[in-house]
Amino acid sequence: MPTAEPFPHRHLLGIEGLSAADLTRILDEAEPWVGFNRGARKADQRLAGLTQINAFFENSTRTLFSFEIAGKRLGAQVSNFHPAASSVRKGESLIDTALTLNAMCPDLLVIRHEAVGAAADVAAVMGCPVINAGDGRGEHPTQALLDALTIRRRFGRIAGLKVAICGDIRHSRVANSNMRSLPLLGAELRLVGPEALLPTSLPTGASAFTDLDEGVEGADVVMMLRIQRERMAPEIANSLGDYHGRYGLTSARLKRAAPHAIVMHPGPMNRGIEIDGDVADDRRRSVILDQVEHGVAVRMACLDLLTRQRRG
Ligand code: CP
């Protein structure tokens, strides 16, 4: 439940650096927003008078739109910075762009950028809290938080659950953030994929599988990831062969997981590659659209927590 304690972080740049208590606090604060968002009137004024800038240098549907909706539902003035229509196209650097936006006195900056560490670099020159909405293959902390909320709402807990993260883990910021958050919250982590797509080092306590059937055996949560060819060396992309045959989640393969297992995917999905359409659309097992719904609630909690001190 919400407490009056200040959140002990100025920015949200990654799961790295957060404690289990920090994560639980964000999840607890997100919980009431789920019900709020299902109501007819979705207007809260706690961020009234604050300016939120969303600066997405990479494409996004879920993250950009949910941050915009989250800010507006909390009463913030939300402006979206469009790099393609900006002076970035004239060669202005990321840091000069950040300094320029900072001079307009925003109260929050949400940034997605293709470079690992971009959000941290920008945070160093901003006078307001910064939220990392994805930095290259670095981190995507609000995705990990909405994933955790989705798991917790389904099972009532995260501790002790077997979570299989499957697919292109090496190039995934979603996996990077989940590999930090889920063990902190007590989950048992399995990483499943071709050798070339597994991380070079495993988080403590995690196990790795190159066979999808073995990796999902008895799992409570099966989290599928998109093949990220845009971040992949050509020799890796060329080595993947019949990816769907070896690593695509089919309904037959899902039968190996626990009978109550849920299927997750951060989106966007490549149907017929890492996940079959009938699995993705089976609302008894698939919580993919719940993840999207919970993304708004989690982002509302993050916007609220990070601006609480500014609001006095
Ligand atoms: N999960 C996610 O980050 O999706 P978008 O790229 O659509 O924001």
Full domain range(s) for residue 48: 20-140+292-311
CA of 54 to the centre of ligand 1 (A): 14
In this prediction, residue 239 carries a pLDDT of 79
- Please tell me the total count of domains within the chain: 2
CA of 266 to the centre of ligand 1 (A): 7
Domain of 229, CATH number, reads 3.40.50.1370
Pocket test for ligand 1, best of 65, 143, 171 (most atoms within 8 A of CB): 143
In this prediction, residue 3 carries a pLDDT of 66
Q: What is the C-alpha to C-alpha distance for residues 264 and 261, in angstroms, rounded to an integer?
A: 10
Residue of the CA atom closest to atom 5 of ligand 1:
60
* Residue 157, in any domain of the structure: yes
Domain check: are 148 and 250 in the same one?
A: yes
Domain check: are 303 and 265 in the same one?
A: no
In this prediction, residue 247 carries a pLDDT of 96
Residue of the CA atom closest to atom 3 of ligand 1:
63
Domain check: are 83 and 207 in the same one?
A: no
* Residue 261, in any domain of the structure: yes
Domain check: are 194 and 264 in the same one?
A: yes
* Residue 12, in any domain of the structure: no
Domain check: are 84 and 192 in the same one?
A: no
In this prediction, residue 230 carries a pLDDT of 79
CB 261 within 8 A of CB 284: no
Domain check: are 177 and 256 in the same one?
A: yes
Q: What is the C-alpha to C-alpha distance for residues 290 and 99, in angstroms, rounded to an integer?
A: 37
Local confidence pLDDT in tens for the 312 residues of the chain: 556 688 999 999 999 999 999 999 999 999 999 999 999 999 999 999 999 999 999 999 999 999 999 999 999 999 999 999 999 999 999 999 999 999 999 999 999 999 999 999 999 999 999 999 999 999 999 999 999 999 999 999 999 999 999 999 999 999 999 999 999 999 999 999 999 999 999 999 999 999 999 999 999 999 999 988 878 887 877 778 889 999 999 999 999 999 999 999 999 999 999 999 999 999 999 999 999 999 999 999 999 999 998 898
In this prediction, residue 231 carries a pLDDT of 81
Domain check: are 99 and 204 in the same one?
A: no
Say whether 188 sits in a helix, a strand or coil: strand
Helices 288-311 and 20-38 pack at an angle, to 10 degrees, of 110
In this prediction, residue 237 carries a pLDDT of 76
CA of 60 to the centre of ligand 1 (A): 5
Domain check: are 129 and 187 in the same one?
A: no
Domain check: are 43 and 53 in the same one?
A: yes
Q: Is 114 exposed, middle or buried (0-12, 13-18, 19+ CB in 10 A)?
A: middle
E strands, 228-278, where?
262-264
Ligand 1 contact, 267 CB (< 6 A)? yes
Domain check: are 198 and 84 in the same one?
A: no
* Residue 272, in any domain of the structure: yes
* Residue located via tokens 């979206």: 80
* Residue 15, in any domain of the structure: no
In this prediction, residue 2 carries a pLDDT of 57
* Residue 7, in any domain of the structure: no
Domain check: are 148 and 282 in the same one?
A: yes
Domain check: are 58 and 146 in the same one?
A: no
